[in-house]
């Protein structure tokens, strides 16, 4: 066996010049067996979409330098393997192209052999296309630094390069840079969420540091948004933190939400803000990842406007001040916001990536003392005053703060 294969290798090497000589013959012969179109005709088909699929069979580096808009990439090497997954309908017209129009000749022949009925090769290839000044798409690629930084994301098919680009393009607004906002913002920044808005009017206080890990002792007295911005941008220079050093009110909520956000992570510690965030998000159609904590208990859910319940579907109005939990009863185990805020970051990433099952319609209850995680389903209320069929609340309401000095969670 070994001797035979060595002998045939030698024989193959001996006829190399002959193989090179017949490449042109083979190309010419194959070219006669397939159909070609000019770049002009191909461009017309691109301009007037008729279901034609452009198939790029070049090398990955050629693709990354630019390709025909809307083309699919298979590469010549994996064409047979990938094409049926990418274009299952074998009657769909295909325009196959490479750089000069030679590799595409062989690729077209292969596609016909695979049963594709309407295949043409682009004569002159992508070079001719570019010479004619036709439009091209240059795919964005991650920089070498980004490839290294996000390598563990690139290894997961559910994220990959495309997902990482989505994260880098994403804009998340965090309401509060406190207990929940700290872990949420740290993980979102580390994951490469490109823009993080943070709304918080407070300064870093000593009593915050037991749980608010985005701040530090040296930042005491500093505005929380400034402190968080420094921490997050030091963690990941890809992240741009947009600080809003103000308390969310009916006056500024439209301006702040109007800056365009994909997801809101609500880490508010008080009812007035929670209701404002809810009403504004329903009216602007932005999903909210809601989290709340009290002593040893945490809750997380996702409010997707008009697809799942909103906060008011669950709690139409804030409790009257006399029934609200006394502020003196506050307090929280330091690690609890770390757990709940991380769950919020997880939901935000899934919403951006459009992967997995979100917590919309499900309220997750975490008990730190018993270490249990329970789930209750929550439904949209057709009588909800904000997202229901006949809404009764159509303007922002500034509820009165229940505590003169709110205990911040
Ligand atoms: Zn509702």
DSSP string, 253-306: HHHHHTT--SEEEE---SHHHHHHHHHHHHHHT--EEEEEEEBTEEEEEEE-TT
What proportions of the chain, in percent to the nearest 5, are helix, strand and coil? 40, 15, 40
How far does the centroid of ligand 1 lie from the alpha carbon of residue 308, in Å? 8
pTM above 0.75, yes or no: no
Whether 320 contacts 296, CB under 8 Å: no
Active site residue 98: no
d(CA 248, CA 254): 10
Are 225 and 198 in contact by the 8 Å Cβ rule? The answer is: yes
pLDDT on residue 407:
43
Candidate list 327, 384, 387, 403, residue with the active-site label = 327
Q: How far is the CA of 301 from the centre of ligand 1 (A)?
A: 14
pLDDT digits (tens, 9 = 90+) for 135-178: 998 877 899 999 999 999 999 988 988 899 999 999 999 999 99
Helix and strand numbers (H, E) in the chain are: 16, 13
Cα-trace Rg, the chain: 29
Q: How far is the CA of 396 from the centre of ligand 1 (A)?
A: 14
d(CA 68, ligand 1 centre) in Å: 45
Confidence (pLDDT) at 188: 98
Do residues 271 and 314 make contact, with C-beta atoms less than 8 angstroms apart? Answer: no
> Residue 106: its pLDDT value, please?
96
Find the 217 Cα to ligand 1 centroid distance in Å: 41
Residue 85's SS3 state is helix
Return per-residue pLDDT of the chain as tens, 409 residues. Answer: 444 455 555 555 555 555 556 898 999 999 999 999 999 999 999 988 788 999 999 998 898 889 999 899 888 888 998 898 889 999 999 999 999 999 999 999 999 999 999 999 999 999 999 999 999 988 778 999 999 999 999 999 889 888 999 999 999 999 999 999 999 999 999 999 999 999 999 999 999 999 999 999 999 999 999 999 999 999 999 999 999 999 999 999 999 999 999 999 999 988 899 999 999 999 999 999 999 999 999 999 999 999 999 999 999 998 776 666 554 457 999 999 999 999 999 999 999 999 999 999 999 999 999 999 999 999 999 999 999 999 999 999 988 765 544 444 4
Separation between Cα atoms, residue 403 and residue 232, nearest integer Å: 31
* C-alpha of residue 383 to centroid of ligand 1, in Å: 8
What tokens does 278 get?
């809810």
Largest CA distance in the chain: 96
Q: How many alpha carbons lie under 13 Å from residue 243 in its C-beta half-sphere?
A: 17
Q: How far is the CA of 313 from the centre of ligand 1 (A)?
A: 4
pLDDT at residue number 6: 54
**Residue 381 bridge partners (DSSP):** none
So what's the pLDDT on residue 78? 87
């Amino acid at each position: 066996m070994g001797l035979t294969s060595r002998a045939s290798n030698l024989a193959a090497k001996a006829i190399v010049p002959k193989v090179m000589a017949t490449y042109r013959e083979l190309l010419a012969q194959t070219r006669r067996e397939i159909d070609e179109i000019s770049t002009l005709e191909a461009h017309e088909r691109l301009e007037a979409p008729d279901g034609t699929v452009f198939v790029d069979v070049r090398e990955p580096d050629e693709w990354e330098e630019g390709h025909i808009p809307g083309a699919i990439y298979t590469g010549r090497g994996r064409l047979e393997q990938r094409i049926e997954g990418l274009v299952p309908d074998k009657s769909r017209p295909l325009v196959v192209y490479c750089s000069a129009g030679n590799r595409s000749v062989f690729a077209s022949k292969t596609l016909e052999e695979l049963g594709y009925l309407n295949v043409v090769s682009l004569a002159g290839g992508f070079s001719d296309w570019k010479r004619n000044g036709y439009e091209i798409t240059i795919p964005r690629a991650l920089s070498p630094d980004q490839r290294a930084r996000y390598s563990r994301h690139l290894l997961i098919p559910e994220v990959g390069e495309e997902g990482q680009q989505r994260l880098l393009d994403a804009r998340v607004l965090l309401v509060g840079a406190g207990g929940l906002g700290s872990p949420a913002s740290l993980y979102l920044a580390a994951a490469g969420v490109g823009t993080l808005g943070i709304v918080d009017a407070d300064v870093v206080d000593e009593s915050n540091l037991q749980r608010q890990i985005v701040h530090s002792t040296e930042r005491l007295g500093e505005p929380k948004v400034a402190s968080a911005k420094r921490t997050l941008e030091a963690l990941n220079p890809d992240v741009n933190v947009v600080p809003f050093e103000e308390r969310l009110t009916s006056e500024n909520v439209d301006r702040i939400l109007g800056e365009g956000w994909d997801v809101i992570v609500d880490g508010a510690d008080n009812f007035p803000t929670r209701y404002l965030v809810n009403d504004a998000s329903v009216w602007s159609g932005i999903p909210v990842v809601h989290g709340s904590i009290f002593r040893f208990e945490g809750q997380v859910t996702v409010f997707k406007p008009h697809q799942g319940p909103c906060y008011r579907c669950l709690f139409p109005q804030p409790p009257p001040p006399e029934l609200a939990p006394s502020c003196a009863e506050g307090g929280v185990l330091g690690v609890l916001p770390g757990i709940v805020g991380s769950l919020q970051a997880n939901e935000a990433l899934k919403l951006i990536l459009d992967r997995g099952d979100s917590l919309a319609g499900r309220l997750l209850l975490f008990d730190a003392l018993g270490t249990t995680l329970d789930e209750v389903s929550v439904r949209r209320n057709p009588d909800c005053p904000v997202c229901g069929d006949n809404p009764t609340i159509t303007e922002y309401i500034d509820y009165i703060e229940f505590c003169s000095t709110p205990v911040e969670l």
